[in-house]
Amino acid sequence: MNWISTEKRAKVIGALVEGNSINATCRMLGVSKHTVLRLLKDADIACAKFHDRYVRNLRVRRLQCDEIWSFVGAKAKNVSPEREPEGWGDVWTWTATDADTKLCVSWLVGGRDAGWAYDFMQDCAERVRGRVQLTTDAHKAYLSAAESTFGGGVDYAQLQKIYGAPTDADQRRYSPAKCIGSDMKVVSGAPDPDHVSTSYVERQNVTMRMSMRRFTRLTNGFSEKLANHAHQIAVYFFHYNFCRVHSSLRVTSAMEAGLTDHVWTLEELCGLIPEENPIRRIDRALILKALERTA
């Protein structure tokens, strides 16, 4: 990656987490695509390590979980057999949100079967302490996963929303279905019915779609590589937790959860990334000068 300053790095990361695509970021800031992709990868590694180390031992009273759909390359029905090994097809992002602090406790990018559900629930269980009230949608994979990971230390309820589909064909494609009711099912423990909800995690998923070009529906802004898709999500969630001030809280989620005492700047985020030493440019210049002297 070509060496760029921390200030330029912050501008690149800021553009990406505010909904700009890779190509748009390159055009706006005059940075090569290779540099942006390399920075995104390095930022993913740094942010994921920080989250894994410090977002733990959380006192969460109400945990809401959901999955958000996207795709890489093409939708699953349109993917050729040659592209499947590259990760093309439907991709699901599992998210867990603390209803009180709005902190994203955990996320996982992958499939939607029982194995992925177990890995996701296991990570959630390892990051919280004490008894927690858990609410998910009616996805069956959650049932065994929550029982295997949380055991008896959870008050768990599933909330299934009932939607009425529009009759007009165009409305079915471009308009969201209207929620006409919901069905609550107590799975284990004694969850408080007044707090059985997935509203906060669903609202976070809406913000997620609006903040990442890769999640925009009915456009050509989808990811073409699964790795880049995962990189973007990791950086987004770190920014969401530590840098983004929520209007209802007037602080960041990490501050509300007691993980930090200030609003992180993009420069601080970029400070987690190991500095790229520009010595390669100097070496190349010295080599060229040496060749000129010997010519």
**What pLDDT digit, counting tens, does each position of 36-52 carry?**
999 999 999 999 999 99
Do the bridges between strand 154-164 and strand 132-136 make them parallel or antiparallel, or are there none, so unpaired? parallel
The pLDDT value given to residue 42? 95
The pLDDT value recorded for residue 182 is 73
Closest CA to 239 of 65, 19, 37: 19
Contact assessment for residue 112 and residue 139, using Cβ atoms and an 8 Å cutoff: yes
**Which residues, listed in sequence order, are joined to residue 71 by a DSSP beta bridge?**
90
As given in the structure block, the two tokens for residue 187 are 């799975």
Rounded to the nearest 10°, the torsion over CA 146, 152, 156, 158 is 50
- Report the pLDDT averaged over residues 1-25: 89
**Could you tell me how many residues make up the chain?**
295
Q: Give the pLDDT mean for 90-118.
A: 97
Q: Which residue has the higher pLDDT, 160 or 180?
A: 160
The whole domain housing 111 covers: 6-30+37-294
Total of domains in the chain: 1
For 202, counting Cβ atoms within 10 Å of its Cβ (0-12 exposed, 13-18 middle, 19+ buried), the class is: middle
The Cα–Cα gap between 248 and 166 comes to 33
**pLDDT at residue 193 is higher than 50:** yes
240/229 Cα distance (integer angstroms): 17
Region at 192 (left for phi over 0; alpha for psi -120 to 50; beta for the rest): beta
Weakest mean pLDDT among 12-16, 30-34, 75-79, 283-287: 283-287
The pLDDT confidence band at residue 281, using thresholds 50, 70 and 90, is very low
Residue 206, pLDDT above cutoff 80? yes
- The residue to which tokens 């002297």 are assigned: 293
Q: Which residue has the tokens 């505010």?
A: 18
Q: Give the whole-number percent of the chain exceeding pLDDT 70.
A: 87
The residue-averaged pLDDT of 258-277 equals 90
**Residue 147: what residue type?**
E
Q: Is the pLDDT of residue 280 over 70?
A: no
Mean pLDDT lowest among 75-89, 107-121, 201-215, 281-295: 281-295
| pLDDT recorded at residue 279 | 44
Using CA atoms, how far apart are residues 151 and 163, in angstroms rounded to an integer? 32
**Residue 34 pLDDT greater than 70, yes or no:** yes
- Give me the pLDDT at residue 282, please: 45
Say if CB 108 and CB 116 are below 8 A apart.
yes
Confidence band of 285 (pLDDT split at 50, 70, 90): low
Most confident segment among 182-196, 249-263, 266-280: 249-263
The answer to whether the CB of 102 falls within 8 A of the CB of 253 is: yes
Q: Supply the pLDDT for residue 289.
A: 52
- Domain contains 189: yes
SS3 state at 89: strand
Q: Is 107 exposed, middle or buried (0-12, 13-18, 19+ CB in 10 A)?
A: buried
Within a domain: residue 1? no
225 within some domain:
yes
What confidence tier does 170 reach under pLDDT thresholds 50, 70, 90?
low
- Average pLDDT of span 78-82: 92
pLDDT for position 217: 82
**Residue 238 domain-assigned?**
yes
CATH number at residue 220: 3.30.420.10
Mode of pairing for the β-strands spanning 132-136 and 62-72: parallel
Per-residue pLDDT band for 292 (boundaries 50, 70, 90) equals: low
Spatial separation of the C-alpha atoms in residues 41 and 235, rounded to whole Å: 9
Calpha distance 272→98 (Å, rounded)? 25
Cβ pair 232, 16 in contact under 8 A? yes
